[in-house]
Amino acid sequence: MRITLRLIFSLILAVVGVALVSAWFNVRQEREKLYAGARDGSALLAETFKETVVRHLKAADNEALQRLADKFQYQKQIEGVAIYAPDGSLLAGSSAIRPFLALNADGLQRQLQSPGSSSELYKDDKREMLVYAAAAKAAEGGPARVVLFTDVSYVAYDLYGIWKRTLLRVLAQTVLIVLVTLLVIRWSIVDPLAQLADWMKKLRIGEAHGNMPQLRGDIFAPLAKEATTLAKNLQAARNAAQKEARLRQEGESLWTPERLKELIKMKMDGRPLFVVSNREPYMHIKEGKDIRAIIPAGGLVTALDPILKAAGGTWIAHGSGEADFEVTDEKSRIKVPPEEPAYTLRRVPLSKEEEDGYYYGFSNEGIWPLCHIAHIRPVFRKEDWAQYYAVNKKFARTVLEEIESVKDPCVLIQDYHFTLLPGMIKEARPDARVAVFWHIPWPNPETFGICPWQKDLVLGLLGADLIGFQTQFYCNNFLDTVDRTIESRLDWEHFTVQKEGHVTAVKPFPISVDFTQPEREEKQLPAKPEPAAVLKDLGLRAEKVAVGVDRIDYTKGILERVKAVERFLEKYPDHVGKFTFIQLGAPSRTHIPQYHRFIAELHAEVDRINWRFRAKNWKAIVFFEKHHDHKEITKYYKIADACLVTSLHDGMNLVAKEFVAAREDLGGVLVLSRFAGASRDLKDALIVNPYDVEQMADAIYYSLTMPAAEVAERMTRMRRQIYENNIYKWAADLTGDLMKLRLDTFSGVS
């Protein structure tokens, strides 16, 4: 209440002060205006009067002058007229002003002595008189004086009216200010604070979750944002404590961000973790004049961002956003995530020529199709190789700059974009612990032998102390490739490669997801997603929904998937008009001709199928070609009766695990390709051959008609698998194994 009174008093004081100062200036101007008007009127009348006075003066007719003076008294504000001789004696004067002349004789004589025309104000108890004296030449002895007396008492009355109106207006404004201030404070401050306090009380006693209710107005938006973040952290800590307590009772141990952070602190002795990848976890783009941070699509970002949030450190990546370097410091660094900074992002700029050769060329037209058996011929160009080598060298310089002051640094390199980087880092810093995780498949030696620079790639990778693959099968393929490519000592019992005194361990580390992320993202949605509501927003109606979430890539089996949907509707026509497949496709590598042709073919196939099964307010397939954030993807996961993951060849495929993690309701069926690494972990999915359209169509049918009890049993077992083997366990296994390795003398790669 005190702050309300202080605010009201301050506003009233400000308004009264402004009003009084304004009124004072207004009164001052009005006074000058009225007096000037009176003087001008007197001067005009005097000029008119002088000619008659001069004529009577020349005739020495004082009686005529007196009659003239009496004639001009009591006319409007003119009280009277007086005529004075050149020597100052009174020749004639209106009878009404005789008392005034007697009382102010001395002042009048002084005024008559001034040359030219003059005006003076005279005041008494009853009135205020303006005396205007004008010269009238009639004789050689000097000019006579014609004096007009004007009653200007009305000026004070008019000015009093201005002050009165000003005070009434101030009073009305004061009342209005008090009422409006009370309403605004009640609406924008008191009620939101009460709402906030009530929410925090419920949060404290455990009756509310981390999402703050919508507050009125935006005055508390920054406070609400920070309070929500604090509440979510509090809730996460509570949940983690509850889980730890429960698991201690059960004799188990769940990997959580807190546990990973403590492990990394202990294993790395407080040293930061350095992660290198091509794709950055946060990209800054322009929206009009504003700059906004977005999360790029891709499983790598999904997997690694929670680890850096837990462990801290530095993520080194290609800065590909149009506004990336407008928000970084002079070293191209920025703290992320934007809403709650937990680690440093170091961005590396690449020219168009470097990006075209290293990324689009050698990485994605060469290595990507080489490692994915998707029947796309890899392309290897000498100029692409030159850019690939140069960019790896540029990243090596950046990494070495970041780890310069760190003793025995730990560097975790991601994927096929940096095959040469481990050797470059190890050559300059033999004390560095370097691990590489290869997210995509590793082909057999005959397939890998297609690459003209296979030996350089293998030697570059062997610069690492630890190489991780998604499955044991890929580890076997890699060791076979090493055996066929270079001279080295292979230990198949311990899965190590010794080359020139340096030992590299090769192990499988099946990557996973943050099991709790979908739960957090669902709480950020405005309402719990319902299938009917989501479809209504799309202008559609359907009883059953299947969803697919992918980067638009020929290895993901999207084209085979839509053909399977067509065959499903052919074989099971009862589902026409009742079943809709929603494909969320994030555009990727559209500069590469093969991808451009693939997207065009995919759109054409979707249009053909929709045209074939067209119906009012229904579509067989809904295809969104755009980037979706995780909150929106979670919404589709939660409404889907089935999720189709039909990769033609995939290292792991985290979409499958994200879908399972999102289904705490134990609903939904996962249809999963046998060629995705996730099929080895998620054995309760419906495992299919994506090249077998008939099998895929039958799997879609079975997913939609499976008994609810079986759906729940399958989902329960898959969720338990992901729950126990989450992304934090993957990071703990990888970093733990890296820190256990004994570093040998490294003499470089040749």
Q: Which of 477, 508, 539 is the last residue of a domain?
A: 508
Residue that wins the pLDDT comparison between 465 and 210:
465
Q: Which of 508, 540, 563 is the last residue of a domain?
A: 508
Which residue in 643, 619, 623, 618 sits closest to 700, CA to CA? 643
pLDDT value of position 249: 42
Query: What would the pLDDT profile of 41-96 be if each residue is shown by its tens digit?
Result: 888 887 777 777 777 777 777 778 777 777 776 666 677 888 888 877 887 888 77
Residues 391 and 424 grouped into a single domain: yes
Query: What would the pLDDT profile of 674-723 be if each residue is shown by its tens digit?
Result: 999 999 999 999 999 999 999 999 999 999 999 999 999 999 999 999 99
Q: Is residue 217 part of a domain?
A: no
Residues 279 and 230 grouped into a single domain: no
Give the CATH number of the domain where residue 565 resides: 3.40.50.2000
Q: Is residue 652 part of a domain?
A: yes
Distances 309 to 133, 242, 304, 318 between C-alpha atoms, Å = 93, 21, 9, 19
Residues 532 and 416 grouped into a single domain: no
pLDDT value of position 9: 79
Residues 28 and 57 grouped into a single domain: yes
Q: Is residue 313 part of a domain?
A: yes
Position 497 confidence tier, pLDDT thresholds 50, 70, 90: very high
Q: Is residue 634 part of a domain?
A: yes
Which token pair is 226?
């920070």
Whether the per-residue pLDDT at 739 is higher than 50: the answer is yes
- CA-to-CA distance for 437 and 652, rounded, in angstroms? 12
Residues 85 and 23 grouped into a single domain: yes
Distances 318 to 283, 332, 395, 531 between C-alpha atoms, Å = 10, 11, 9, 38
Report field, pTM of the whole predicted structure over 0.85: no
- CA-to-CA distance for 186 and 188, rounded, in angstroms? 6
Whether the per-residue pLDDT at 749 is higher than 70: the answer is no
Q: Is residue 591 part of a domain?
A: yes
Q: Which residues of 579-613 are buried (b: 16+ CB within 10 A; e: fewer)?
A: bbbbbbbbebbeebebbeebbeebeebbeebbeeb
Residues 615 and 719 grouped into a single domain: yes
Q: Is residue 515 part of a domain?
A: no
For residue 418, what are the domain limits?
A: 261-508
Q: Which range among 42-51, 525-534, 554-563 shows the weakest confidence by mean pLDDT?
A: 525-534
How many domains does the chain fold into? 4
Query: What would the pLDDT profile of 630-663 be if each residue is shown by its tens digit?
Result: 888 999 999 999 999 999 999 999 999 999 999 9
pLDDT value of position 215: 60
Phi, psi (rounded to 5 degrees) for 246? -65, -40
Whether the per-residue pLDDT at 204 is higher than 70: the answer is no
Residues 661 and 596 grouped into a single domain: yes
Whether the per-residue pLDDT at 566 is higher than 80: the answer is yes
Residues 315 and 243 grouped into a single domain: no
Residues 14 and 153 grouped into a single domain: yes
Position 745 confidence tier, pLDDT thresholds 50, 70, 90: very low
Most confidently modeled range among 264-268, 604-608, 727-731, 733-737? 604-608
pLDDT value of position 210: 54
Q: Is residue 576 part of a domain?
A: yes
Mean pLDDT of the chain: 85
DSSP string spanning 272-297? PEEEE-SS-S-EEEEETTEEEEE---
Query: What would the pLDDT profile of 457-477 be if each residue is shown by its tens digit?
Result: 999 999 999 999 999 999 999
Residues 61 and 31 grouped into a single domain: yes
Q: Which of 508, 536, 563 is the last residue of a domain?
A: 508
Residues 597 and 459 grouped into a single domain: no
Residue that wins the pLDDT comparison between 202 and 452:
452
508 DSSP β-pair partners: 469
Whether the per-residue pLDDT at 160 is higher than 90: the answer is no
Residues with Cβ < 8 Å from 402, sequence gap 6 or more? 274, 314, 316, 346
Q: Is residue 192 part of a domain?
A: no
Which token pair is 12?
């009233």
Residues 150 and 284 grouped into a single domain: no
